[in-house]
Structure 1
Amino acid sequence: MSKEKVNNLSPDLWVDKYADYLFNFTITRVRDVDVVKDLIQETFFAGLKSMSRYEGKASERTWLISILKRKIVDHYRRSNSNKGRAEVRMNFYSEASRQGDWIEESVSQTGSNRPDAQLEAEELGQVLSSCIKKLSKRHKTVFEMKTLQDFETDEICKVLK
């Protein structure tokens, strides 16, 4: 490795290892490619600036996602100054044991003004919930850790043995 690891972080590998994941995570929340790229770049810069505070309790990717979530919230905070828009709550801690969230106003997402959008979302939620209930306890835990809590596969394997 060309640079020494600091606090088990490898910033020289961040773009190669995490840029695609961070892009996919962000594009579903922001929907503007140029803004997404800027937010990811800001995330990497913030990560570099705060490397000394990384405690190693979360994976590198999870830590970067937590920084990115704050960047997304800041973006909406800057772009939405009108009161009375729908609230978006976003947990800013990666650990479930810690509590706190940002409350942010957001503009309507593309397609959310369609009359059937809410019905589709409700139906999808019901189908997903039904499928999750059919999983064994262990598979349900794996699914939730991977998709809802952004754990990496290696972390899930270690936790669940």
Structure 2
Amino acid sequence: MEDEPSLPHRTLSDPATWVERHGDYLYRNALFRLRDRDLAEEAVQETFLAALKARPEFAGRSSERTWLVGILKHKIVDHFRKVSRESPAEEMECLPYEEERPFLGEGEWKGHWRVGDGGGPAAWGISTDLDRREFWEVFNACLSRLPSRLVEAFTLREIDDLSSEEVCKVLRVTPTNLWVMLHRCRMQLRRCLEVNGFGSRPERG
């Protein structure tokens, strides 16, 4: 049996070039998740500092940018965890459970879309780069109008792809409250998108 060809080993560039090469990309990434310019800048700075310390541990299995984004993701999760620790734990416990609806698993409510399941712009017939850009501009504007707690839950679960169990630990909420938060966020996003000309995806059977 022949050995599989090994992947080329990637190396890191000079850290002095990181800000110019990756700074804007990481900042946009952080701003989308944190919704605050100062917090986004701080997260990017912490990412670069952590990357400097972690340089000897870089295994070369991913690109430099992917590696930096992974570090940024951990910094953002740490931020949400810190905010949750400083918020009253009972704050989310009093959320009423609005209504019983079937869900497909991992908090995916039947008939609702998820960002990571391939059902975003493409599922609504959005094919051109301009259409996609317009969609995400509207999506970002809609998301910015929602309560921060709902955005945190949605960001961690749907965008950063943490498991429901991980999100519950980070935000210090029960699974039931997480379902309610995600449900509310999706419903409000869906309504906002529809009002702004982006129809919902078809119901699943």
Give TM-score scaled by structure 2 length: 0.45
Alpha-carbon distance in 1 for matches of 2:49, 2:33: 20
CA shift at 1:105, angstroms? Answer: 2.5
CA contact (8 A) 2:190 2:200 kept: no
Structure 1's 101 and 8: CA in aligned 2 closer, same or farther, altered over 3 A?
Answer: farther
Q: How many residues align?
A: 110
Paired amino acid for 1:68: L
Paired amino acid for 1:105: L
Give 1:24's match in structure 2, choosing from 22, 28, 31. Answer: 28
Alpha-carbon distance in 1 for matches of 2:26, 2:65: 9
Give 2:18's match in structure 1, choosing from 11, 14, 19. Answer: 14
Structure 1's 116 and 55: CA in aligned 2 closer, same or farther, altered over 3 A?
Answer: closer
Q: Is residue 120 from structure 1 mapped to residue 192 from structure 2 by the alignment?
A: yes
CA shift at 1:79, angstroms? Answer: 1.2
In the alignment, which residue of structure 2 is the partner of 1:52?
56
CA shift at 1:100, angstroms? Answer: 10
Higher strand share: 1
Q: Is residue 105 from structure 1 mapped to residue 171 from structure 2 by the alignment?
A: yes
Query: Structure 2 regions of 5+ residues with no counterpart?
Result: 1-9, 93-148, 173-183
| Larger gyration radius, structure 1 or structure 2 | 2
CA contact (8 A) 2:50 2:71 kept: yes
Alpha-carbon distance in 1 for matches of 2:60, 2:165: 22
CA shift at 1:117, angstroms? Answer: 3.5
Alpha-carbon distance in 2 for matches of 1:24, 1:18: 10
SS of 2:12's equivalent in the other structure is coil
In the alignment, which residue of structure 1 is the partner of 2:72?
68
Query: Structure 1 regions of 5+ residues with no counterpart?
Result: 1-6, 93-98, 107-111, 130-161
Give TM-score scaled by structure 1 length: 0.56
Q: Deviations over 1:119-159 (max 9, x none)?
A: 235784846x9xxxxxxxxxxxxxxxxxxxxxxxxxxxxxx
Aligned-pair RMSD on alpha carbons? 3.3
CA contact (8 A) 2:27 2:40 kept: yes
Following superposition of structure 1 onto structure 2, how do residues 72-151 of structure 1 map, counting pairs within 5 Å?
72-81=76-85, 82-83=88-89, 84=92, 86=150, 87=153, 88-89=156-157, 90-91=160-161, 102-103=166-167, 104-105=170-171, 117-121=189-193, 124=198, 126=200
CA shift at 1:62, angstroms? Answer: 0.4
